[in-house]
């Protein structure tokens, strides 16, 4: 009799679990969750790789230090995210990856990224690393002509993918967000993935 009751209870539990609705997220899950490749040199001169993230989540954003609007707004938003996460911030790497290695040296990133938050990663990627990351994250990167014409060192813009990429503790791409995504959308997803 006890065995029968235990069996019925177990079947009821399985039914409950199988009927539970799937977890709802504010971000968009990828159709094919890949393990993106991202390795470079952090603004402090240390190597950084998603493969060595020690079970942390990573919120990755691609940009460049000369960006006049989208990139500084994104980094300000990420600073706000760390405040909202409270003690959980230590389980999340905020990773700003430069798409402009010609101007964004490690030294330049060291002047720029900690100005938003010294806990952020700010990555310099050499051309091979940039190509691997671009392929992994399916990025679009387009350089405009320098203002004083081709071959000059004058100012130029870089058009680039503005998506936020949330990589799970297993190293796989978990969710993506458009540039307009708010902290109210991103933070609950991070808390769900951390739990």
Look at 30-39, 127-136, 147-156, 178-187 and tell me which has the smallest mean pLDDT: 147-156
**Positions of E strands within the chain:** 39-41, 47-49, 57-63, 92-98, 121-123, 141-143, 158-160, 164-167, 173-177
Report if residue 6 sits inside a domain.
no
Instruction: Give pLDDT tens digits for 117-150.
Output: 999 999 999 999 999 999 999 998 998 888 877 7
Report if residue 145 sits inside a domain.
yes
Structural domain range at position 101: 26-194
CA proximity to 61, closest of 160, 129, 183: 160
Taking residues 29-43, report their average pLDDT.
Answer: 92
Report if residue 96 sits inside a domain.
yes
Report if residue 156 sits inside a domain.
yes
Report if residue 100 sits inside a domain.
yes
Predicted TM-score (pTM) of this structure:
0.84
Report if residue 3 sits inside a domain.
no
CA proximity to 123, closest of 168, 77, 63, 66: 63
We report the CATH number of the domain holding residue 61 as 3.40.30.10
Report if residue 15 sits inside a domain.
no
**Overall domain count for the chain:** 1
Report if residue 5 sits inside a domain.
no
């Amino acid at each position: 009799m006890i065995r029968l009751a235990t069996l019925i209870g177990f079947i009821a539990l399985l039914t409950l679990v199988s009927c539970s609705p799937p977890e709802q997220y504010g971000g968009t899950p990828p159709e094919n969750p890949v393990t993106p490749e991202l390795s470079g040199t952090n603004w402090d001169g240390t190597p950084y790789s998603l493969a060595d993230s020690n079970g942390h989540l990573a919120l990755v954003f691609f940009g460049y230090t000369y960006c006049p609007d989208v990139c500084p707004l994104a980094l300000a938003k990420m600073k706000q995210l760390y405040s909202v996460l409270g003690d959980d911030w230590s389980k999340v790497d905020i990773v700003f990856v430069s798409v402009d290695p010609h101007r964004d040296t490690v030294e330049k990133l060291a002047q720029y990224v900690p100005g938003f938050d010294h806990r952020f990663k700010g990555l310099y990627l050499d051309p091979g690393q940039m190509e691997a990351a671009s392929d992994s994250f399916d990025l679009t990167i387009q350089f405009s002509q320098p203002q004083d014409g081709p071959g000059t060192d004058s100012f130029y813009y870089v058009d680039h993918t503005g998506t936020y990429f949330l990589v799970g503790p297993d190293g796989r791409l978990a969710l993506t967000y458009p540039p307009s995504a708010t902290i109210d959308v991103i933070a609950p997803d991070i808390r769900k993935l951390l739990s």
